[in-house]
Structure 1
């Protein structure tokens, strides 16, 4: 079966360049629609909360696209305002679970520290069987990133379905923290050489990733030149 997958840090749906500060989920969803992606992992997604800017963002995009979706909360912001990762799927999502990444020691936390998680969703494929999607947004410090890789490695090693692991990992491809993933999983790196993702208007690094299970073949990958968010999305063509 052939699949097109995408990872996209949507920056809460904020329009990054043309009108900074304005939330436009239709613009974000249009980037996804135009990519042709079947399965999408999203980061920096808001859920429905007390603040008027905290709406059910992934549900709104799913309605626009005619897709299925699931939201996975990592934290609450300013009271009862959920924030985390999400998955959009062309096909039904039969189960999902949030796995919480261990926090770093208190003395190693920076001012911008926030708790992180990995969302797993199991998608029912049209040809039968299932496919798992792991979507995550790693932390900003080395200890946070190591903790995230340890959990991601454990989850993917235990996974019995074909899968993708994707997200904004906040590290560049040459960082050895990624070695456990690079050594065991199918990578998209060879197709993305020289393609950068952040900041979208003038990218100087690639910190957004798509990995797949060893049973999955990567047939191509690319970074899309969108400035709707502060990250450019990454798309990969897979088969299994």
Structure 2
């Protein structure tokens, strides 16, 4: 089972050409399930719907809020799940921000795979250098959702997203439950990148990216696939790698690189 997570950068930059580059990259990777962030939608169009149609996948989407990209009042941003198998149901939960002008949401989709239910989650935590005090309550709310929805499923939970936090941060330690007491007792989520090539730092926010030439932030690994402990062998991490790391027809797909993880099904 191939899982991908990717922040698609809304409708910024050359977004029409980027949409084609994103679709081409996803076609090449061939994911079974995707967790996508900064997915734009209007009352007449939706990037998740467009990608799902091109790839022959099912989809669900949760609005986080409006965005000013392109000065379009009819433009929303959110998170999406795409799946090659039917999505039996989905749940969206707002995350605390402390700022009425900022919307953050966690999306859960119950994927009806041939081997049983897969509890899939995706989210996008607050972007703010030094903003751990905002993200920690978000992590706790996310962990509660994961624990509630992942019970009695054939697969362990798969949590994807742009968490805007480094691997050794308090946010990841709480979600992991390996280096500190987990956010929810008994909930352990393994960072799939620990199964990647040890020589690859896995930077998903990277100055190699054509949109990052002027960033003041250092190269960082802030996008994740986190997986619960295997259930009867299902969900065991086999590998992890990056995708979207090169331009497509001279266009970078997004300002983030994607993370691709293969799991035992």
Normalised by the shorter chain, which TM-score bucket? 0.7 to 0.9
Deviations 1:10-62 (A, max 9, x none): 11265xxxxx433232221111111121000000011123xxxx721111111
The answer as to 2:254 corresponding to 1:229 is: yes
Structure 2: gaps (5+ residues) = 178-187, 213-217, 247-251
Q: Is the contact between residue 186 and residue 217 of structure 1 (CA under 8 Å) also seen in structure 2?
A: no
Equivalent positions of 1:1-240 (< 5 A) are 3-12=1-10, 14=12, 20-24=13-17, 25-49=19-43, 55-77=45-67, 79-104=73-98, 106=99, 114-125=102-113, 127-140=114-127, 141-158=131-148, 159-160=150-151, 161=153, 162=155, 163-183=157-177, 184-192=188-196, 193=198, 194-199=201-206, 200-201=209-210, 204-215=219-230, 216-224=235-243, 225-226=245-246, 227-240=252-265
How far the C-alpha of 1:80 sits from its partner, in A, is: 4.4
Q: Deviations over 1:173-218 (max 9, x none)?
A: 1212211212221221323451211143468111100101212211
* Mean Cα deviation higher: 201-210 or 62-71: 201-210
- The 2-side partners of 1:124 and 1:134 are apart by 14
Deviates more, 1:196-205 or 1:64-73: 196-205
Q: CA deviation at 1:64?
A: 1.0
SS at match of 1:84: strand
Task: Give the gaps of 5 or more residues in structure 1.
Answer: 15-19
Please give the TM-score of this superposition, normalised by the length of structure 1. 0.85
Task: Evaluate the alpha carbon distance shift between residue 181 and residue 121 of structure 1 in structure 2; reply closer, same or farther with a 3 A threshold.
Answer: same
How far is the alpha carbon of 1:75 from its aligned partner? 1.1
Could you report, residue by residue, the CA deviation over 1:104-161 in whole angstroms, capped at 9, with x for unpaired residues? 2x5xx9xxx6210100011111x24211210100002222210221012112222212
Supply the distance in 1 between the matched residues of 2:67 and 2:7 (Cα, whole angstroms).
18
Query: RMSD over aligned Cα, in angstroms?
Result: 2.0
Structure 1 Cα separation of the partners of residues 2 and 175 of structure 2? 21
Counterpart-to-counterpart distance in 1, 2:21 and 2:11: 8
Q: Secondary structure at the match of 2:205?
A: coil
Regions of 4+ moved over 6 Å: none
